Chain A
Amino acid sequence: MTETPQQADRATTIYEKSVPGRRAAQLPPLGEGVEETPIEELIPPKLLRETPAELPEVSEPEIVRHYNRLSRRNFDLDTGFYPLGSCTMKYNPRLNERVAALPGHARLHPATDPADAQGALQLMYQLQESLAEITGLPTVSLQPSAGSQGELAGLLLTRAYHADQGRNPSKVLTPDTAHGTNPASVTMAGYEVVKVATNEQGGVDVEDLKAKIDDDVACLMLTNPNTLGVFDENIAEIASLVHETGALLYYDGANLNAIMGQARPGDMGFDIVHVNLHKSFSQPHGGGGPGAGPIAVSERVEPFIPRPQVVRVEDGDGEFFDLDYDRPKSIGRLRGFQGNFGVFVRSLAYILSLGGDGLSEASRLAVLNANYLKARMSEGRAGKYLPVAFDRHCMHEFVLSGAPMKKELGLKTLDLAKRLLDFGFHPPTVYFPLLVDEALMVEPVETEAKEHLDGFADAIDRILEEAESDPEIARNAPYTTPVRRLDEVGATRNPRIRHAG
């Protein structure tokens, strides 16, 4: 097979482009009056580095060319459809980048006295209030850096809440459909994970919940709609079962994009919610971050939230926004300073742009898009080989099972995903949730136009048609990407994780 030009252009690292003596940086002069004292006279030699770190020696044009070239070896949301389930890959408005880059935001030191950071604190306060309204809970802490840190914060809040009442329960319940971060966070918070089964509608198996909930349970962590894209209709019963034993109810906000302005976790009985600003609120995903994972909490959990908290203080002349450290029952800090402020700027810009009605409309169109694509894929070959796991109206995403495709065409979900790359699509999330055999989790989001949904459904159909006559094509895909299938087993067996100089 002929290589594409990009495939023929083999990967070389910036280290391999290094030429001794080349450089990019030009530093300012020391300044008048500053002596060029030998460093050994300022710092004892035994505390000094003997040989310089091996950093690349490259000119500025070479750096720019190198990273531009690398960028073209990525698939990105601005290039094409990216229906990665559970990740809410919605359009990232460029206005948000512009306002985040203003010097008043970008060059504001985090230790600036609140008197000199009123705009920043007011912005954070307004975001707190907005998220409180959207989640239906009174208090928001913006501090957690991402969803998983929000989860850990929520579990530490749970621990503090129970301890304050003289209780020390040891278990946390999670459905078997939960994101992997849930059980990982549970362990880090010192709790034992107990799994709750899923019923035939894709929701929590209430009988199993009844069997497992007792006064040794600290909380139930739920995602609603869950990772199957299904809204749990029994939520009110679940909430009362959980609260009767004194446990708390935790909401994983990964799927909040389905219900903004339609229903609120607080109204469903949740005590703690984390929100992924990089999902529902359009912070760009950055190739794996940054994000932010604010938490919203009920009144009884409020005393324990992380510190410092942004507060609004009324004084004689008006209002003052401050950082409140005086929170004696607080679980403390989860990270440095006040959180991922740059993310807050972007998310508030997004909320202001859409307004309450716009957020509501975004969720409605996300659900419309998901159901439309699901309907398209219930027909023809996709309907035959990739049945929907839990066939009912979905919320913002849906899960297909590739089990029939594997049985009848000998094609694994992985093969289908790899072949999609040749058609210019990012594949859905694969092999999650674990409950569904050969799972494909599709989240089309509201910012995608109908023709892209159609294009995706058509591509799936063509791949399946092609596989009916020759499954080998997909089994060996992709063909057109910068590299083809990679040896992941070899990479793990013999880890090479840095350039060997």
Chain B
Amino acid sequence: MAGYTPATDREQAEMLAQIGVDSIDDLFAQIPEEVRLDRPLNLPDGMSESEVYRLLAGLADTNLDAERIPSFLGAGMYDHYVPAIVEAIISRSEFLTPYTPYQPEVSQGGLQVMFEFQTAMSEITGLPVSNAGLYEGPSAAASAAYLAMGQTRRTGLVASRGLHPHSRETLATHAVGFGASLIEVGLEGGLTSGAELEAAITDETAAVFLQNPNFLGAVEDIAALGEAAKAKGALLVVQVDPMTLGILRPPGECGADIAFGEGQPLGNRLDFGGPSFGFFCAKEGYIRKMPGRIAGETEDVDGRRGFVLTLQTREQHIRREKATSNICTAQALNALAGMIHLAWLGKQGFVELGELMARRTAYARGVIGSLDGYELLHDAPVVREFAVRSDRPVEEILPLGDESDGPAPRLPVYPLGRDYPEYEDSFLIAITENRSVDEVGWLAHMLEHGQAGWDAHIHEHDEAGNPVAGAAQ
């Protein structure tokens, strides 16, 4: 049993003597008998470190992760290459093990990271104010709704169906508590319907939610769509994929009042969905209504530059029921990973990565869109993800092999049917710098010729001995 506890029997006896009791049980006497647990917890006995490792590594081994199959899954979280320095830095005890920087004199590292992160997020979104991060993308949508409702004193929320389904569902869950109503606006040709959007926005609309690129991968004309929100005095709130902002016009230049998003593509693992971080940026006027932590620059008593958590009167630990948000523990370490990745990409690399994704995606879209039995769901411009319609049910094309002996592995593309009954025959394909031309060839082969022997294709090797996906092509 690994208790990670140092107290020896002798020390325990000394401590009990100092306290003036005979046993630890005496300390628990304050728990009334009737609510005390009179049996051991029904959990397995403790295990050695090597046994725990073996057990969990065994479970991990049954998952088909992006190391073992080329994953074209996206839908908000993407298989980017995370540079080695990210793990090296975030594994340092000094970043890994402290808590929220309540004592700034001994938390300058974490506070300065927050300040740098806020700067970087402001720069990429084109909005002057950023917080130090939220939980993840969809719950940041709820935070935006809360801010917008407080700001406008209105209760209507309007969301494009191009907004991530998880963001829409999260908004709907929170709307019950906020006393808000949520209306959805449909898509036409892959893009938010301008006419339907305009019709949905009223004098009671607090916020209009768009996403860019939208869930189908299409690049929206945010500035044009946003006019309708402006005309009625509603806040324009835009969810953005941060990795596309190297090339796409930032939300701040499209009239957005608030931009938020899922930070996973920046330096964070897929981790089956988390932990990652959310980001939240806004126009200057909303600085005192922001949710979450914010670091600010200041000076110490000797005039040295330093950083503190600032504008804390917004926060729950000061403001309690009048706080701008209930958030306490957020995702500081994940935001640090994002900052390191952005610094590593740098001013040039951030643009180059956006261009690389757009060009490879254009290539993949051409290859997949011209396969027999498949066509593009829409032909709107895209950056890193696109939607394909199949003339067979999607469920039929996913299994990679014979299913007579149980489920076969699934082709790692995102079926749209669960979230969009109207696109039941379609799926999404996501491209990153990790998805090579060979792997696109493998995907095309799997889609066109059936799926038996999928792993043989992946595990073939070129003359240099490097694994080549799709070598059978």
Contacts and interface: CB of A to CB of B under 8 A. Distances in A.
A53 B119 CA distance: 11
Given A358-B3, A365-B24, A486-B306, 11 more contacts: A55-B350, A63-B343, A123-B56, A260-B41, A284-B97, A289-B334, A342-B272, A357-B1, A371-B19, A393-B30, A482-B106
B30 A103 contact: no
Contacts of B199: none
A497 B310 contact: yes
Contacts of A290: 274-275, 277, 329-334
A195 to B, nearest CB: 10
Interface in A286-333: 286-292, 306, 317, 325, 331-333
A148 B304 contact: no
A353 B343 contact: no
B421 to A, nearest CB: 13
A14 interface: yes
B389 interface: no
A448 to B, nearest CB: 7
Interface string A329-342: 00111111111111
Interface string B105-143: 111111011011011101110101110110111110000
Interface stretch (B167-175, B230-238, B457-465): B167-175
B97 A78 contact: yes
Given A39-B355, A63-B85, A84-B99, A334 B173 contact: yes
A207 interface: no
A107 B79 contact: yes
14 contacts: A52-B246, A67-B336, A75-B106, A95-B49, A109-B65, A130-B43, A136-B37, A149-B135, A262-B37, A287-B110, A333-B166, A341-B272, A491-B298, A492-B312
Contact of B105 (A355, A358, A486, A487): A486
A112 B68 CA distance: 13
Interface centre among A23, A75, A343 (most CB of B within 10 A): A75
Contacts of A77: 93, 97-98
- The 3 closest A-B CB pairs, nearest first, are A104-B60, A337-B273, A355-B46
Given A123-B59, A332-B172, A188 B146 contact: yes
Contacts of B327: 146, 148
A484 B304 contact: yes
B427 to A, nearest CB: 11
Interface stretch (A152-160, A242-250, A459-467): A152-160
Contacts of B71: 109, 112
A358 B349 CA distance: 49
A499 B124 CA distance: 13
Given A63-B340, A112-B63, A343-B275, A288 B101 contact: yes
B246 A368 contact: no
A108 B7 contact: no
Contacts of A261: 37, 40-41
A92 B56 contact: no
B247 A48 contact: yes
A22 interface: yes
Measured as residues with beta carbon below 8 angstroms from the partner, the interface class of chain A is: 35 or more
A278 to B, nearest CB: 6
A286 B105 contact: no
Interface centre among B5, B36, B45, B318 (most CB of A within 10 A): B5
A218 to B, nearest CB: 12
A268 interface: yes
B437 A421 contact: no
B402 interface: no
Interface stretch (B200-208, B368-376, B410-418, B445-453): B410-418
A222 interface: no
Contact of B59 (A25, A32, A48, A119): A119
Interface string A86-118: 010111110101111111111111111101111
A156 B170 CA distance: 12
Nearest to A432: B317
A260 B41 CA distance: 9
A496 B223 CA distance: 28
A155 B177 contact: yes
Given A14-B116, A109-B73, A356-B40, A348 B12 contact: no
Contact of B433 (A27, A63, A82, A447): A27
A418 B438 CA distance: 59
Contacts of B438: 31
The secondary structure that dominates the A interface is: loop
Interface in B293-340: 293-302, 304-308, 310-313, 315-323, 325-334, 336, 339-340
Contacts of B176: 156, 159-160, 190, 331
B379 to A, nearest CB: 12
B359 interface: yes
B103 A417 contact: yes
A407 interface: no
A364 B103 contact: no
B407 interface: yes
Given A76-B93, A290-B333, A481 B106 contact: yes
B341 to A, nearest CB: 9
A285 B349 contact: no
A429 B35 CA distance: 29
B466 to A, nearest CB: 13
Contact of B343 (A58, A236, A357, A371): A58
A47 B219 contact: yes
Contacts of B101: 287-288
Interface string A422-458: 0000110100100000000000001111100000000
Nearest to A488: B308
A482 B94 CA distance: 14
A478 interface: yes
Given A32-B437, A287-B99, A342-B274, A482 B343 contact: no
Interface centre among A93, A343, A353, A485 (most CB of B within 10 A): A353
Contacts of A74: 94-95, 98, 106-110
A491 B308 CA distance: 8
